[in-house]
Amino acid sequence: MATNTATASFITPALQAFPNLMTINRKRTGFCGRTRREFLWQSGAGFGAAAMSSMLSRDGFFGASAGASESAFRNPLAAKPPHFAPKAKSVIFLFMYGGPSHIDTFDYKPKMNGMDGKTVDVKTFGRGGHKAGGRIVEPRWKFKQHGQCGKWVSSLFPNVAKHVDDIAFLHSMTADSPIHGSAMLMMNSGKILSGNPAIGSWVNYGLGSVNENMPGFVVMLDPTGGPISGAKNWSSGYMPATYAGTVFRSKGAPILDLAAPADFPEGVQRTLIDSIQNANTQHMAMHPGNDDLASRIASYELAYNMQSTAPEAVDLAGEDAQTLAMYGIDKEGTRDFGTRCLMARRLVQRGVRFVQLYSGGAHNDDNWDAHGDLETNHNKHAGHTDQPIAALLADLKRTGMLDETLVVWGGEFGRQPTAEYANGSGRDHNAYGFTMWMAGGGIKGGVSHGTTDELGAAAVENPLHVKNLHATILHQLGLDPNHLSYFYSGLDQKLVGVEEVEPIHEIIA
């Protein structure tokens, strides 16, 4: 960057006074130029900062967009380069809402065999509060070894078990809350409080979209309803609304009210949108750097383009009968989740960055929240999802997409080894230790990382936090989790928080 002498004489003492300025500029790649100017004012430089800002603008310090051309519309979803070469292009997050029991699915605990009904001293913390002991509920399903890696998997997931050599199991996950609402927000946004962007929004913001015809972040809900806290789980929080998740339906129109009115003559809608966009663009010229306005302009174009692309993306008519049967779409129990898994594959094929599928919705046994009858609950939900998930992994692999698609499975927490009530097999929530897994997208297959104790009550070896999971997802997409930031409320906000967080290097190929 060429800098004239007068500007240089001013910059040197200014940078000495404000040493973070150059860092701020480097870290603001993809940010509006106004953020850098605001820094000068917020740093207390006053009128001197105004003069400095003016000279730096003329010399290109803020980038071309911060000068006279700043009024030009810049699509917030324009594709952006990653921080480094990515292993994955897309993410499919299979969210088992309610909290599946790790010790009944993928975390084999042979020492619990024969302990059913025995009272043990074990610290637990769930919706029933802190407890110091309880009655053991022995795992209700038999475990067998599978694959070349010999991974133990319960009979709840006989189809997923066939793919263990492609999966990395994380047996020492921990979270900060054992309560659904806050735990859901943490798993989705990294924080237990609402108002923060979901991980899909961070991906949207960090990488943009490779096309302008589909949203970058899609959410597909269970037919029983959405999860607790609802849209907060896919909100863009303090980021512009452009980065929020878009809810797709698996039946009927994928997005409500997307189609133009039936009585609109051909070409009228395009003319109307052009008129609105011209007015918006003129308005933006008077309000340069307005992220919300830029998002509004982008949303009109995206909605218009999706009228033709979204229905095609979720139309399964072109899929052959063998593929439909593989996903279980020909059977009542697996039809819905199988349909959404196949839709997810089609969406990532069309450039959607982040797709999240929910298994379970509403409350009680409509999701994996097995407080009463563990067997009835888990047989139901595993029965709905096992075949479709296995089909998704097989389909991605046969089409060569698994290498560039990161698949994540898990809930907001696990379940306790002890019974919640005096009678029955129900288990309370467990955020002290639970299992999630990842496959594809540059992740090692056939490995298990971390352990819980012999009862599965808490993580004991290589404990992992939700933040480590998020850091790994971002890393595989070519984003540095400790440098991807968004300037808000005077701080560089990050998905993983203030302190540096490492990806799970042991499972990265």
The residue written with tokens 């009835």 in the block is 376
Lowest-confidence region among 12-21, 99-108, 220-229: 12-21
Q: Are 175 and 183 in contact (CB under 8 A)?
A: yes
The token duo for 184 is 């859901």
Does the structure show a pLDDT above 80 at 318? yes
**Regarding predicted confidence, which is higher, 282 or 300?**
282
- Give the mean model confidence (pLDDT) for residues 298-315: 70
When the pLDDT of each residue in the chain is averaged and rounded to a whole number, the result is 85
Q: Report if residue 43 sits inside a domain.
A: no
pLDDT of residue 38: 42
Q: Report if residue 60 sits inside a domain.
A: no
pLDDT digits (tens, 9 = 90+) for 432-454: 999 999 999 999 999 999 999 99
Q: Report if residue 51 sits inside a domain.
A: no
- Give the mean model confidence (pLDDT) for residues 14-26: 38
**Regarding predicted confidence, which is higher, 62 or 158?**
158
Most confident listed range (66-75, 166-175, 211-220, 244-253):
166-175
Number of domains in the chain: 1
pLDDT digits (tens, 9 = 90+) for 331-389: 999 999 999 999 999 999 999 999 999 999 999 899 999 999 999 999 999 999 999 99
Per-residue DSSP letter, 136: B
Please report the sign of the dihedral spanned by the C-alpha atoms of residue 443, residue 444, residue 445, residue 449: negative
Q: Report if residue 37 sits inside a domain.
A: no
- Give the mean model confidence (pLDDT) for residues 258-270: 70
pLDDT of residue 270: 73
pLDDT of residue 304: 64
- CA nearest neighbour of 292 among 345, 235, 238: 238
pLDDT of residue 296: 66
CATH of the domain at 265: 3.40.720
pLDDT of residue 11: 39
Distance (Å, whole) CA 320 – CA 336: 17
The token duo for 235 is 């909100």
Does the structure show a pLDDT above 80 at 402? yes
Residue-number span of the structural domain to which 183 is assigned:
90-507
- Give the mean model confidence (pLDDT) for residues 212-221: 90
Q: Report if residue 14 sits inside a domain.
A: no
CA distances from 195 to 186, 254, 337, 420 (A): 11, 26, 29, 32
Q: Report if residue 16 sits inside a domain.
A: no
Q: Are 456 and 106 in contact (CB under 8 A)?
A: no
Q: Report if residue 493 sits inside a domain.
A: yes
Q: Report if residue 95 sits inside a domain.
A: yes
pLDDT digits (tens, 9 = 90+) for 130-159: 999 999 999 999 999 999 999 999 999 999
